[in-house]
A and B are shown apart, each in its own frame.
Chain A
Amino acid sequence: MAQTIPVVIGVVVISFLLTRALPGDPAVYFAGDAADAASIQQVREALGLDKSMPQQFLIYVGDLLRGDLGQSLSSGQPVLTDLTYRLPASLELTLVALGLSCLIAIPLGVLAATRPGTWVDHLCRVLVTAGVSLPTFFTGVVLIYFFYYLTGWAPAPLGRLDFIYIEPDRVTGFYLIDSLLAGDIETFLGALKQLILPSITLALFTMAPIARMTRSAMISALSSDYIRTVRAAGLSRTTILRTYAFRNALLPVITTLGMVFSFSLGANVLVERVFAWPGIGSYAVDALVASDYAAVQGFVLAMALLFVFVNLLIDLLYSVVDPRIGFADNE
């Protein structure tokens, strides 16, 4: 946990550098097309760009602490407002996808490890190799073709909710939760329908590393000496698998989950683009296309901080499962 603070500082420094490495003169940019030299200078002073780099950095940090990520050119809103408004859409998609992929990948990995050489094992291996080769944006496109264009089972890939439904009152920003809170089952189902294809797309991408890690962690746990000890002591297969093998195999799987979360935050950008999902990923892409750099940098920083936070959670979870942590924290 002591490692989190330097990482946060590093993240802030890198995102500052990215901001200041913007192509061209931001002052010219922000002043607009019709600006003359004087007004550009004015903008430059207003932005603090005439100050030295360390000073600029302090101003940047100060702004961050006040929650000021700058103004978005395209929406005209503060970037922070935009991000907080759109974040739940992305999180809803990411979390549902991760949940889905854990639900499939972990049991699959366990089954493959306990039945080496059977069809489950082969399926797992095929899925793992094919899964990492799938470009998410391509999977999304193919799924749309099959399930929307050919069969019509899925709704049009146009955002979180079909226009025939009314958006639920915003409490958490998660449509699934908000619609339930409002007691509106129809909207809930509508939101769920929209969510199915994008979350499957994302889940297909994240399943491979989780299944692979579960399988190999289970195999190494099952071939370890302590499993032999309890087998020789006559423990039942269920106890051995659950209490001895699976709990030990969980440790590397938890670590992988952190990495997979990071991957899916990246892949999210592409999936949101394919499904016109109004999350922060598509926000960032729109901002990129519109050269709205404050929005892009705000997005990058927000993603990094989110991931740092998730890692912190994972460390906590890890120390709950593994008693050795804390003892050997100098490793």
Chain B
Amino acid sequence: MVDLLTIKNLAVDFQTRNGTVNAVRDVSVCVKRSQKIGIVGESGSGKSVSAFAIMRLLDSGGKVTAGEVSYNGIDLRRCSEKEMRDIRGRDISMVFQNPRAALNPIRTVGKQLVDVLHQHSLASRQNARHKAIEALAAVKINDPKSCFSRYPFELSGGMCQRVVIALALACNPRLLIADEPTTGLDITTQRSVMELIDELITARQMSAIFITHDLALAAQYCDHIIVMKDGEIVESGEPESLFGSPQHAYTKKLVSATPRPGVELRDLLPPTLSGEPLAKMSVVVPSNKPLLEVKELSKEFNTKGSAFVAVNKLSFTIHENESVGLVGESGCGKSTTSSMLMRLLDSTSGQVIFNGSDLFNTGLREFSKDKRRASLQMIFQDAGESLNPRHNAATLIREPLSHLTNLSRKEIKTRILELADLVGLPHSLLSRFPHQLSGGQMARVGIARAIAVNPRLLILDEPTAALDVSIQAVVLNLLADLRHQLQISYLFVSHDLRVIDLMCDRVLVMRGGEIVEQGGVNQILNDPQHPYTKELLAAAPAPPVKNDSVEKFRQEESDLLALNTVGF
């Protein structure tokens, strides 16, 4: 195979208010013909910057300071802007994250395609429309003719991403750079988009660079993976060897932190510095006493005369000390359900019995004074957004204590310190405002606030979705420990079945406002009955695992779970 793109010792600097930042240092990559390369790293690792540097599309302030980029023998750093324009789109093209924003909102999809075809002289006035429709058909858009005259806002997110791919592939480039192409899309859409890209690239014998934070996703679709951290390549290799025997400490951490079949929560964490084994995860045995009983719960929204059923006759039970997972894609009604259970939203019909009493017997407005307010708490998806930017960490944690308990000022102060210890938040951070905390620290403040008033049921709304995978591992472990220590029941809302697998005893699968399947986590993950559950499971990227110990793990875990779910 011949090298299509060679990057040697690339370095990119950014001029910022706080001085120069070396965003990328000494990066060398070699893409062969028909090769698919994955660049993996957490936020700020310089993976996207490298891609933009190749295309010479860096924002103002960013500058390539060293290194060589050569494509097919052409020195990309030295060719003129005009030559570069001819290369962009025609030889190398890109697909981006957030497809809806990637398309001009006030220009029809077809015209945007025609613009690109015209630019590279691949279409005349007469056949431009025809060629654009062909390009749309190539990305398997139903009815490409009508899609031609549509605006982006009339298409779904998945469809928009197909259009962006059509735009990128319209001129038959040789190399595609996909920057987080499926982040933010639902997991089943993610799968179909990835399959599509993979298929087109293979069929056209193109090369590709996938940039992603998801190691498992990269492993599934790439021949070769490069791991980046803080602007540098720390390791590269075949997916199997990378997963099987990671060499660099960071890769090890990343691999171990990726939730995958057959591992326990503790396995996600890197070994401690001292080498001591971590305290073993205690097994929580859920009782068979119901804490929350949901009966035929429904919610309709009336917008402009037409009713929309967001939640339709939901029935399920959460037992004391039980952790129940709620899985579904966007728009399935999981947020509406959690709002109703938190008593933030009235239901249209149905009943919720919490700890023996009807939750709806107190009005929505009066519920802030209800005794049960303290028992029902929540942890939010975006920890940063859930923290009042005007309050420091101590004030944030104090908030529920001062409204929902009768503790004295002094007692509250002691309790805040106690809670900080419990969630592993250094006391020195208590005076900080949310914007002065890192993602993981904000998550800890959110957790401390939620457990401050000793809730019985905690709803966790995708608590780690916005976090990098290594921090997710830490937070998940913390949550599991707290559940054990404080004897709380969890309703764990997530789109990620692997995380649910680690955190829950039982799973509810939701779609279109209804529960399509529920059962023990083991049963749902290994023997799903409903086709939708099967689809969800198949869509989750599975990292290659060639480890013997995994099977053993898996077996042990199943036994354990079988034991745990006896009560159910």
Chain B residues lying within 8 Å of A324, measured Cβ to Cβ, are: 105-106, 151, 153
20 contacts between A and B (CB under 8 A): A225-B101, A226-B101, A226-B105, A229-B167, A232-B88, A232-B89, A232-B168, A233-B88, A233-B89, A233-B93, A233-B119, A234-B116, A234-B119, A234-B120, A239-B115, A243-B107, A244-B104, A244-B107, A248-B106, A323-B153
Residues from chain B with Cβ under 8 Å of A116 in the complex: 60
A234–B101 CB distance below 8 A: no
Q: Is the CB of A233 within 8 A of B60?
A: no
| Contact flag A323-B57 (CB < 8 Å), given A224-B101, A225-B98, A234-B89 | no
Nearest CB in chain A: distance from B553 CB, A: 42
A242 CB to closest chain B CB (Å) equals 11
Partner of A323, one of B85, B87, B106: B106
Once A234-B86, A234-B88, A234-B120 are accepted as A-B contacts, the answer to whether A225 and B151 lie under 8 Å apart by CB is no
A226/B104 in contact, CB under 8 A: yes
The answer on a CB contact under 8 Å between A228 and B89 is no
Q: Beyond A233-B89, A239-B119, A244-B107, is A228–B57 a contact (Cβ under 8 Å)?
A: yes
Q: 1/0 per residue B77-109: CB within 8 Å of A? A: 000000001111110011010100111111100
Chain A positions within 8 Å of B86 at CB level: 234
The 4 tightest CB contacts between A and B, nearest first, are A234-B89, A234-B88, A233-B89, A225-B101
Q: Known contacts A230-B115, A232-B89, A234-B89: does B103 contact A323 (CB below 8 Å)?
A: no
* Complexed CA–CA distance, A231 and B107 (Å): 16
Please encode chain B, from 432 to 469, with 1 for each CB lying within 8 Å of some chain A CB and 0 for all others: 00000000000000000000000000000000000000
Q: Which of B174-205 contact A (CB under 8 A)?
A: none
Would B106 and A321 count as touching, CB distance under 8 A? yes
B15 to chain A, nearest CB (A): 12
Q: Which of A231, A234, A327 contacts B87 (CB 8 A)?
A: A234
- Indicate whether A322 reaches chain B with its CB closer than 8 angstroms: yes
Report which B residues bind A (CB closer than 8 A).
55, 57, 60, 85-90, 93-94, 96, 98, 101-107, 112, 115-116, 119-120, 151, 153-154, 164, 167-168, 171, 304
Chain A positions 241 through 264: 1 when the CB is less than 8 Å from some CB of chain B, otherwise 0? 001100110010000000000000
Residue A330 interfacial (CB < 8 Å): yes
Chain B min CB distance to A247 (Å): 6
Within the assembled complex, what's the spacing in Å between the Cα atoms of A235 and B81? 11
Chain B: which residue is nearest A240 at the CB level? B115
Which A residues are in CB contact (< 8 Å) with B120? 234
- Measured CA separation A248–B106 after assembly (Å): 7
A236 within 8 A of partner (CB): yes
Cα(A330)–Cα(B85), bound, Å: 41
**A interface residues (Cβ-Cβ under 8 A, vs B):** 116, 224-226, 228-236, 239, 243-244, 247-248, 251, 321-324, 327, 330
Whether B153 contacts A236 by the Cβ 8 Å rule is: no
Q: Is the CB of A236 within 8 A of B106?
A: no
- Measured CA separation A102–B542 after assembly (Å): 58
Bound-state CA distance A92–B89 (Å) is 50
Interface-centre pick from A232, A239, A248 (highest chain B CB count, 10 A)? A232
Question: In whole angstroms, how far apart are the Cα atoms of A248 and B105 in the complex?
Answer: 8
Q: CB-nearest residue of chain A relative to B152?
A: A226
CB of B106 within 8 A of CB of A322, answer yes
A247 CA / B104 CA spacing, docked (Å)? 10
Q: Contact at A228–B96, with CB atoms within 8 Å?
A: yes
Chain A residues within 8 Å of B115, by CB: 230, 235, 239, 243
If the complex has contacts A116-B60, A229-B164, are A235 and B106 also in contact, measured as CB distance less than 8 A? Answer: no
In the complex, which of the residues A116, A228, A324, A330 has the most CB atoms of chain B within 10 Å of its own CB atom? A228
Of all chain A residues, the one with the shortest Cβ separation from B56 is: A231
What's the nearest-Cβ distance from chain B to residue A219, in Å?
A: 11
Contacts of A323 in B (CB 8 A): 106, 151, 153
Tell me, rounded to whole Å, the shortest Cβ–Cβ distance linking A14 to chain B: 30
In the complex, what distance in Å separates the CA atom of A246 from the CA atom of B48? 27
Do residues A247 and B106 form an inter-chain contact, with CB atoms below 8 A? yes
Q: Which residue of A lies closest to B117 (CB)?
A: A233
Q: B338 CB to closest chain A CB, in angstroms?
A: 26
B residues in contact with A232, CB < 8 Å? 55, 57, 88-89, 93-94, 96, 168
Q: Is the CB of B304 within 8 A of A330?
A: yes
Q: Which residue of B lies closest to A223 (CB)?
A: B59
Instruction: Point out the residues of chain A lying under 8 angstroms from B112, CB to CB.
Output: 230
Q: Are A233 and B167 in contact (CB under 8 A)?
A: yes
Contacts of A251 in B (CB 8 A): 106
How far is the CB of A213 from the nearest CB of chain B, in Å? 17
| B91 and chain A: residue at smallest CB distance | A234
Chain B residues whose CB sits within 8 angstroms of the CB of A236 once the complex forms: 85, 119
Docked complex Cα distance between A247 and B111 (Å): 14
Could you tell me the distance between the alpha carbons of A239 and B106 in the complex, rounded to whole angstroms?
A: 15
B375 to chain A, nearest CB (A): 38
Q: How far is A103 from B174 in the complex, measured between Cα atoms in Å?
A: 45
Contacts of B154 in A (CB 8 A): 327
Q: How far is the CA of A90 from the CA of B55 in the complex (A)?
A: 54
Q: How far is the CB of A253 from chain B (nearest CB, A)?
A: 14
Bound Cα distance A330, B87 (Å): 44
Residue of A nearest to B86 (CB): A234
Contacts of B106 in A (CB 8 A): 247-248, 251, 321-324
Give the docked Cα–Cα distance between A228 and B88 (Å): 11
How far is B153's CA from A323's CA once the two chains are assembled, in angstroms? 9
* Contacting residues, chain B, for A229 (C-beta < 8 A): 94, 96, 102-103, 164, 167
Residue of A nearest to B303 (CB): A330
Q: List 19 additional A-B contacts (Cβ < 8 Å) besides A226-B105, A323-B106.
A: A225-B96, A225-B101, A226-B101, A228-B96, A229-B167, A230-B115, A233-B168, A233-B171, A234-B86, A234-B89, A235-B115, A235-B116, A244-B107, A247-B106, A247-B107, A248-B104, A251-B106, A322-B106, A324-B106
Known A-B contacts A243-B115, A248-B105, A322-B106; A327 and B57 likewise in contact (beta carbons under 8 Å): no
| B residues near A248, Cβ cutoff 8 Å | 104-106
Chain B residues with Cβ below 8 Å from A224 are 101
A116 to chain B, nearest CB (A): 7
Bound-state CA distance A116–B59 (Å) is 13
Q: How many angstroms between the C-alpha atoms of A229 and B152 in the bound complex?
A: 14
Q: How far is the CA of A235 from the CA of B105 in the complex (A)?
A: 17
Which residue of chain B has its CB nearest to the CB of A330?
B304
Q: Complex Cα distance A172/B168, Å?
A: 55
> How far does the Cβ of A226 sit from chain B's closest Cβ, in whole Å?
4
Bound state CA distance, A116 and B61, in angstroms?
A: 12
Q: Is the CB of B116 within 8 A of A233?
A: yes
A233 to chain B: which residues have CB within 8 Å? Answer: 88-89, 93, 116, 119, 167-168, 171
What residue in chain A is nearest B87 (Cβ atoms)?
A234
- CB-nearest residue of chain A relative to B59? A223
* B114 vs chain A, min Cβ distance (A): 11
Question: Within the assembled complex, what's the spacing in Å between the Cα atoms of A327 and B90?
Answer: 35
- Closest residue of chain B to A226, judged by CB? B104
Among A226, A243, A248, find the residue whose CB has the most chain B CB atoms closer than 10 A.
A226
Give the distance in Å from the alpha carbon of A130 to the alpha carbon of B119 in the complex.
42
Q: Which of A116, A224, A225 has the most CB of B within 10 A?
A: A225
Contacts of B88 in A (CB 8 A): 231-234
Q: How far is the CA of A323 from the CA of B109 in the complex (A)?
A: 12
CA distance A226 to B93 in the complex (A): 14
Q: Is there contact, CB below 8 Å, between B107 and A234?
A: no
Chain B residues within 8 Å of A225, by CB: 96, 98, 101-102
Q: How close is A248's CB to chain B, nearest CB, in angstroms?
A: 6
Min CB distance, B419 to chain A, in Å?
A: 41
| Alpha-carbon separation in the docked complex, A320 to B114 (Å) | 21
Q: Give bound CA distance, A184 to B144, whole Å.
A: 59
- Chain A residues with CB below 8 A from B171, complex form: 233
A278–B27 alpha-carbon span in the complex (Å): 72
How far apart are A176's CB and chain B's nearest CB, in angstroms? 35
Q: What residue in chain A is nearest B116 (Cβ atoms)?
A: A233
Q: Among the interface residues B106, B112, B153, which one has the most CB atoms of the partner chain A within 10 A?
A: B106
Q: How far is the CA of A83 from the CA of B431 in the complex (A)?
A: 65
